[in-house]
């Protein structure tokens, strides 16, 4: 029995959900998302609440039950509020700027690193903070990970691109080892 899959999903004001046999479509103020349902999952919409259940009691069906429920919940949050991730640039001379739908990073290489925004993703830059915003949680997370991978934070000085809430574990350098 899935503890997450059993939870009902409330539909907020201004969000429209259309459930068909194989597909669910969610439309809100920020945009429209759709998801193809598996044959073993049943989604029912009743009076502002969506419930997800399993048609056939198999191991595979149980494993995707909670995942499907959470994906639908993320779609509803995405079209109503949106998703965002913040990254921080740490390092002398490191900077970021937005030109159209492209984020240009200067992070210590001999060339600038260009990251193109997928559809429905926007970049904002304030000082050394990059904000990635969009309606699809998976795309926002993957785009943020791609930006972070352009120059991951290194453990000695902490220079690089890191998530705003990430804590970089620091190592002692040669001087600290020699003194001990």
Walking along the chain (180 residues) 10 residues at a time, the average pLDDT comes out as: 85 93 93 94 92 92 92 96 96 94 94 94 95 96 96 93 94 73
**E strand map for 28-116:** 32-36, 41-46, 49-54, 83-90, 95-99, 102-106, 113-116
pLDDT of residue 85: 97
pLDDT of residue 55: 92
pLDDT of residue 1: 64
pTM, two decimal places: 0.88
Q: Superfamily for 3-80?
A: Ribosomal protein L6 (3.90.930.12)
pLDDT of residue 134: 96
Fold for 83-163, please state it: Outer Surface Protein A; domain 3 (3.90.930)
pLDDT of residue 179: 66
């Amino acid at each position: 029995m899935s503890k997450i899959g059993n939870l009902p999903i409330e539909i907020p004001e201004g969000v429209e959900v259309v459930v068909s046999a194989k597909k669910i479509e969610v439309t809100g103020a920020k945009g429209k998302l759709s998801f193809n349902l598996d044959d073993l999952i049943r989604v029912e919409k009743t009076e502002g609440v969506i419930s997800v259940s399993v048609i056939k009691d198999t191991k595979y069906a149980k494993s995707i039950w909670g995942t499907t429920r959470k994906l639908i919940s993320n779609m509803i949050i995405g079209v109503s509020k949106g998703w965002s991730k913040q990254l921080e640039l740490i390092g002398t001379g490191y900077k970021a700027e937005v030109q159209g739908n492209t984020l240009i990073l200067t992070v210590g290489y001999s060339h600038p690193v260009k990251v193109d925004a997928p559809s429905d993703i926007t970049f904002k830059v304030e000082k050394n903070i990059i904000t990635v915003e969009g309606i699809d949680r998976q795309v926002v997370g993957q785009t943020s990970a791609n930006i972070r991978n352009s120059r991951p934070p290194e453990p000695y000085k902490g220079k690089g691109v890191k998530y705003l809430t990430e804590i970089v574990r620091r190592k002692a350098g040669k001087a600290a080892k020699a003194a001990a």
